[in-house]
């Protein structure tokens, strides 16, 4: 694979697949521009070289073609300010307007294309659609790690139409940091897995069991483990069809001498509501009519001690329903423990999605080693799968 620093973009039109799937409020203002800021070094390297930039991305999940709320034109002003140039906008991503605007680009100029997913051909990986996109640039740059696990037209299929294709700084950093965890980890190595369902994390858990010293399980998925071990979990979230799987993972952890840490206690509530009645309960004895919505104080203490003593930490998934302030303490305390481990010289990789949102919203993003921009893509990479967007660059 060729990386961006190996290529001189002078007088070249660089067609860059970026991940600008950013959250917008009702006034179409960007509420979190993490993904845009992540792409800036790649964009600026090309402009400094004397090239021009054509940006293509998706936004949201439009179902029936163009929808104004998913138009990338809403990003134009923010992008112009972030890059420092007046970003041009094409009201289509293929066709006459996109072709004429891209052909007229001068060195130092930037063009933003309309939402790729206004065409169903994008997610179908349509070859003809990919070839139409490819006509807009001289060199292809993929810097969208967040969609690298999708075999879409702009992320994988398009690469076959370019002799010159390189990975941008985001993809390079994502791969470098994932390899640090999977191949170059210092001991003790602790993986923290949270979130709602075992089924979402099963393959990555199985792959990590052969590599980690400690595996911390939190969030809604932990209650499936407790029920599998004979615990009373009340109305807590459970995957009834995954009880045998939970038992098998417990057995495998023992066989591999991995310290599997499940939360001893939970903050429970009598309703899925921030203002519901709350109390602390042992996870083997949650009363009927009550549900676990966050890890409890004893779990926080044990988990934090383990994390703080680790040299490598991988975190993917919150410890509770952190969107509700009364059930955010577990996630906050775990984030603080990860920061503490990092400050002592440890290495920490925060998986994308909810974990990245949590760490950034708490203001800890610059106090950990790396915050991934790709939730699903990072998980699939951790599972040992080949990512189509990465393979296409080889």
At 354-364, the pLDDT tens digits run: 788 888 888 88
Strands 165-167 and 139-142: what pairing? Answer: parallel
Give tens-digit pLDDT for 343-354: 999 999 998 677
Give tens-digit pLDDT for 160-206: 999 999 999 999 999 999 999 888 889 999 999 998 888 888 888 99
Look at the pTM and tell me if it is higher than 0.85.
Answer: yes
Residue 291: its H or E element: strand 291-295
CA 278 vs CA 147, 218, 272, 275, 288: distances in Å? 39, 18, 11, 8, 14
Whether the Cβ atoms of residue 170 and residue 42 lie closer than 8 Å to each other: yes
198 three-class SS: coil
> What mean pLDDT comes out for the span 363-378?
88
> What mean pLDDT comes out for the span 118-131?
97
> Distance between CA 381 and CA 145 in Å, rounded?
11
Q: In this structure, what is the dihedral angle of CA atoms 22, 25, 31, 37, given to the nearest 10 degrees? A: 30
Predicted local confidence at residue 382, as pLDDT = 85
Predicted local confidence at residue 201, as pLDDT = 84
pLDDT at 340 over 70: yes
Find how far residue 368's CA is from the centre of its chain: 15
Q: What is the CA radius of gyration of the chain?
A: 23
Strands 52-56 and 110-112: what pairing? Answer: parallel
> What mean pLDDT comes out for the span 52-76?
95
Predicted local confidence at residue 248, as pLDDT = 95
pLDDT at 113 over 80: yes
Find how far residue 16's CA is from the centre of its chain: 19
In degrees, to the nearest 5, what angle opens at C-alpha 359 toward C-alphas 345 and 70? 140
Whether the Cβ atoms of residue 178 and residue 53 lie closer than 8 Å to each other: no
> What mean pLDDT comes out for the span 293-304?
98
Predicted local confidence at residue 352, as pLDDT = 67
Closest CA relative to residue 11, chosen from 47, 45, 55: 47
Across all residues in the chain, what is the average pLDDT?
Answer: 94
pLDDT at 256 over 80: yes
Torsion angles phi and psi, residue 215, rounded to 5? -125, 110
Predicted local confidence at residue 247, as pLDDT = 96
In degrees, to the nearest 5, what angle opens at C-alpha 185 toward C-alphas 188 and 226? 55
Whether the Cβ atoms of residue 20 and residue 75 lie closer than 8 Å to each other: yes
> Distance between CA 130 and CA 135 in Å, rounded?
9
Better pLDDT: 256 or 357: 256
Beta bridge partners of 191: 215, 314
17 three-class SS: strand
Predicted local confidence at residue 19, as pLDDT = 94
> What mean pLDDT comes out for the span 293-302?
98
Q: Which residues participate in catalysis according to the annotation?
A: 35, 197, 353, 376
pLDDT at 64 over 90: no
> Distance between CA 11 and CA 30 in Å, rounded?
32
């Amino acid at each position: 694979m060729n990386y961006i620093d190996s290529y001189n973009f002078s007088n070249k039109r660089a067609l860059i697949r970026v991940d600008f799937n950013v959250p917008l409020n009702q006034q179409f203002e960007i509420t979190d521009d993490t993904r845009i800021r992540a792409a800036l070094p790649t964009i600026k390297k090309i402009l400094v070289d004397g090239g021009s930039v054509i940006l293509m991305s998706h936004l949201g999940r439009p179902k029936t073609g163009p929808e104004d709320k998913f138009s990338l034109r809403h990003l134009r002003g923010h992008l112009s300010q972030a890059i420092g140039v007046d970003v041009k906008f094409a009201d289509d991503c293929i066709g006459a307007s996109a072709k004429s605007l891209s052909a007229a680009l001068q060195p130092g100029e930037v063009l933003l294309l309309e939402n790729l997913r206004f065409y169903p051909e994008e997610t179908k990986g349509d070859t003809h659609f990919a070839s139409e996109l490819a006509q807009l640039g001289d060199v292809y740059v993929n810097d969208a790690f967040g969609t690298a696990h999708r075999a879409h037209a702009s992320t994988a299929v398009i690469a076959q139409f370019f002799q010159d294709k390189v990975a941008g700084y985001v993809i390079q950093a994502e791969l470098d940091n994932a390899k640090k965890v999977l191949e170059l980890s210092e001991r003790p190595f602790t993986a923290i897995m949270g979130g709602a369902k075992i089924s979402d994390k099963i393959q990555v858990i199985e792959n990590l069991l052969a590599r980690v010293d400690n595996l911390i399980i939190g969030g809604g998925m932990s209650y499936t483990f407790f029920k599998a071990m004979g615990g009373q979990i009340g109305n807590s979230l459970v995957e009834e069809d995954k009880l045998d799987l939970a038992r098998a993972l417990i057995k495998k952890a023992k066989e591999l001498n991995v310290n599997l840490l499940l939360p001893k206690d939970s903050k429970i509530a009598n309703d899925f509501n921030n203002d519901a009645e709350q109390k602390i309960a042992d996870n083997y004895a949650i009363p009927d009519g009550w549900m676990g919505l966050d890890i409890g104080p004893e779990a926080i203490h044990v988990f934090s001690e383990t994390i703080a003593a680790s040299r490598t930490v991988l975190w993917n998934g919150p410890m509770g329903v952190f969107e509700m302030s009364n059930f955010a303490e577990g996630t906050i305390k775990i984030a603080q423990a990860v920061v503490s481990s990092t400050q002592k010289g440890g290495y920490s990789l925060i998986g994308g999605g909810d974990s990245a949102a949590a760490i950034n919203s708490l203001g800890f993003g610059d106090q950990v080693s790396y915050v991934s921009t790709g939730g699903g893509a990072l998980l699939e990479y951790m599972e040992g799968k080949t990512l189509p967007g990465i393979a296409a660059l080889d």
